[in-house]
Structure 1
Amino acid sequence: MKILYVITGLGQGGAERVVCDLADSMYEQGCEVKIAYLTGNVLTRPFHKEIEVIELGLKNFSFIFRAYSSLSNLIKLYNPDIVHSHMIHANLLSRIIRLTTPIKKLICTAHNSDEGGRLRMALYRLTHNLADTTTNVSNTATISFEEKNAVPENGMLTIYNGVNLNNFKYNSFAREEINIEFNLRSNVKIILAVGRFSRQKNYPNLLNAIKILKEKANLPFKLLIAGDGELREYIEKLIDGLNLKDDIILLGRRSDIPKLMSSCDVFVLSSDHEGLPTVLIEAMACQAQVVATDVSGVREIIDIYGEVVPPKNSESLSDAIISAINIPTKNISGAQYVKNKFDLEIISEQWLDKYRE
């Protein structure tokens, strides 16, 4: 089977990692695989170098016809059995290309409950019939698309993101190594957040919660944030303004996320919206206690194995962090739960079944 994955970009994000891991899994099962991306720098790649990664050259909207031509020619030359697109720009472009370019089977996957305003949702609806199958990554995200009239009723399936949990396991030496790296005393509680600095992730909500925690709880702590993005300067100024500079370490991009997750006392997700936040699955797989805002997909991940709080409520977020910090054991049951539900091997089989239909 020949598969072409098409994605908006290959930056450092959850959807990008999911697509690359899925491509690796399909390659390992004997499929021929390529990945085409529309724009941006390549920060996430598949493990197998045999999987060709192809830039389509969408630098800005004026390059749309170039990207259209590049993807159309690629499909004609490669002649894939499956074109599987991910994220709104890739989904819409792949659908429109089908008007002029034969595609044997087109599957379009959204990765969020909110992929833009009314115009984008209208474009999804108008082009819906150009895809053979449209999916989203959580039940709540699927329902959101139906409510926004982006898809007809029962016109979208839910298939969860698969996570390569061979890469995310508890490391019993991690805490000692992190303590040494950042010169932390053994009694200092580690709070961890991972994700790009974007409005969606609502780091101001987390920082305000940390300010409340500092005033309310008499415990030594350090907040580590791994990630980068367009709002970094704003976040740095906010940290200074809240007088939290001594309590927070901005790590930038890190290649040892599983070690960080294994070392923390609590992992926090403070987002305003998501699709299926795979970073939460990864943290739970590393046996982290977790606290997350009640946004799309979160309850489907956490179930009974963590704390869920209202979004944009720093007081509730702070209370939940304090509660989670005081749990004396690792989240072993949560780790087993996400392995049984989201492991890449399980999800890859579901995709293979869908490809073969």
Structure 2
Amino acid sequence: MKVLQLIDSLETGGAERVAVNIANALATKIEGSYLCTTRVEGLLKDSIDGKVHFLFLNKQSTWHLKSILKFNAYVKKEEIQIIHAHASSFFLASIIRVFNKRVKIVWHDHYGNSMFLQNRKFKVLRLFSVYFNHIFSVNKQLEQWAKVNLKAKSVCFLPNFAVINNEPSKTNLFGEAGKRIICLANLREQKDHHNLLNAFKTVVENHGDWSLHLVGKDFNDPYSESIKSFIINNKLEKHVFIYGSQPDTFHILSQCNLAILSSKSEGLPLALLEYGLAKLPVIATQVGECTEVIDNYGLLVPPENSKELSKAIIQCVEDEELRNVNAMSYHAHIQNTYSETAQVKTILKVYNTICN
């Protein structure tokens, strides 16, 4: 079996990490594991296993003919049987399916705004979904949505899984050791950093020796600027630090003592799984699969409620024993429930079914 993971970039986002993780996990389990990024390379390129065949298309636009022809020739030459397309890359996969009737398409839906599915624009997606042999949805809401709105032959919920990759240890965090809070999330509105900053502002009033560290892609857009303005306007420059995208996720997490996601909407955030692998106590909002992932092993608060979020943070800051107990139980929970072994077994079962 030869399977190619297709993704638009290798920036440090959740969908991108999942694509790399699956390609790496399959490298020793099938005849050929491939990964193609269409538009942009990125920091995750260094995480690709040496056994994975890698292709970069440098696609300049949706209908960039040179890239389409190059990819089509590559799929034929390598005799790719399955294109596992992630997020918006379904478009290119569907075009290749038109030229190669024998190629099967698996689409992986990572849609993060699953709390607001009524606003999702999906006319093009629905049109091309007739070519999908299977859909993996990262939460149960997306699974049900796909069954109702799309035309794929089959759909199932597939939890994300995280792995500890060998990464260079280069990012050293500011702030006092033993009193660092991490938020691993790209600077996007759905991640609701303002909710977190408002909550942390309250925390600092009584625990000024604690610091907050924001790690994730900075798009340098109005949302990003509003975050930076909030930090300056509230005199938090010595307490809140922004690092942008960084390749050494687990080295960063190893320097922290409490992990948070304050999103207003989520699918199944990979960051929550990485927090667990790093043995960190966790606080998250009750959105997407966050409630299912954390279960009783961390603290959950309503979304867009900085008052409740600040209470949860203060509770953890003031109770080291609570942090330690939650961290170890959550770590065991993630290893047992969201392991690479279990999810890869499901993936291979689907691959074999659609090929046969």
**Common topology (TM > 0.5):** yes
2:199 alignment counterpart: 209
User: Which residue identity is paired with 1:151?
Assistant: L
**Within 2, Cα distance between the matches of 1:104 and 1:252?**
38
Query: Could you say which residue in structure 1 is the equivalent of 2:281?
Result: 289
Which stretches in structure 1 are left out of the alignment for 5+ residues? Answer: 169-173
Matches of 2:234 and 2:31, distance apart in 1: 52
Report the CA distance shift for 1:254/1:153 in structure 2 as closer, same or farther (over 3 A).
Answer: closer
1:225 equivalent among 208, 214, 217: 214
Residue of structure 1 in register with 2:136 after alignment: 135
Q: Structure 1 pair 85/318, CA: closer, same or farther in 2 (3 Å)? A: same
1:51, CA displacement in angstroms? 2.1
**Partner SS for 1:295:** coil
Equivalent positions of 1:273-284 (< 5 A) are: 273-284=265-276
Provide, for residues 168-225 of structure 1, a one-character-per-residue CA deviation record: whole Å limited to 9, x for no partner: 9xxxxx9xx97xx646266xx221111222223221221111112234x345311122
Counterpart amino acid of residue 196 in structure 1: N
Moved over 4 A (4+): 115-119, 152-155, 165-168
- TM-score normalized by structure 2? 0.86
Distance 1:220 1:69 in 2: 57
2:49 aligned residue:
48
Is this contact kept in 2: 1:138–1:300, CA < 8 A? no
CA RMSD, 1 decimal: 2.8
Aligned to 1:171: none
- AA paired with 1:91? F
Q: Quick one: distance in 1 between partners of 2:56 and 2:294?
A: 36
Q: Name the counterpart of 1:79.
A: 79
SS of alignment partner, residue 98 of structure 1: helix
Secondary structure of the residue aligned to 2:15 is helix
How far apart, in 1, do the equivalents of 2:250 and 2:98 lie?
Answer: 44
Question: For residues 21 and 129 of structure 1, what CA distance do their matches in structure 2 show?
Answer: 27
Aligned length: 341
Verify: 1:193 aligned to 2:192, yes or no: no
Candidates 336, 350, 353, aligned match of 1:354: 350
Counterpart selection for 1:345 from 338, 341, 348:
341
- 1:314 aligned partner: 306
1:228 Cα deviation after fit? 3.1
Give the structure 2 partner of residue 68 of structure 1.
Answer: 68
Note if contact 1:165-1:343 (Cα within 8 Å) is conserved in structure 2. Answer: no
Question: Would the aligned equivalents of 1:122 and 1:150 in 2 still touch at CA under 8 Å?
Answer: no
Q: Which moved more, 1:40-49 or 1:278-287?
A: 40-49
Asked if 1:108 is matched to 2:107, the reply is yes
Residue in 1 that maps onto 2:93: 94
Partner amino acid for 1:245? E
Classify the secondary structure of the residue corresponding to 1:44. helix
Check 1:199–1:113 CA distance in 2 against 1; reply closer, same or farther (3 A cut): closer
Equivalent residue of 1:28, what SS? coil
Structure 2 stretches lacking a partner, 5+ long: none
What does residue 57 of structure 1 align with?
58
Deviations 1:278-316 (A, max 9, x none): 111111222211111222121121111111222222222
Three-state SS of the structure 1 residue aligned to 2:149 is coil
State the one-letter code of the partner of 1:25.
A
* Partners of 1:355 and 1:154 in 2: CA distance: 13
Distance (Å, rounded) in 2 between the aligned partners of 1:58 and 1:323:
48
Residue identity opposite 2:214 in structure 1: I
Residues 242, 154 of structure 1: alpha-carbon distance in 2 compared, 3 angstrom cutoff: farther
> Residues 165 and 339 of structure 1 are in contact (CA less than 8 Å); yes or no, is this contact kept in structure 2?
no
Distance 1:185 1:139 in 2: 39
- Specify the alignment match of 1:124 in structure 2: 125
- The verdict on how the C-alpha distance between 1:113 and 1:141 changes in structure 2, with shifts beyond 3 A counting, is farther
- Corresponding position: 1:249 with 2:241: yes
Match of 1:14 in 2: 14
Instruction: State the alpha-carbon separation in 2 of the partners of residues 333 and 154 from structure 1.
Output: 39
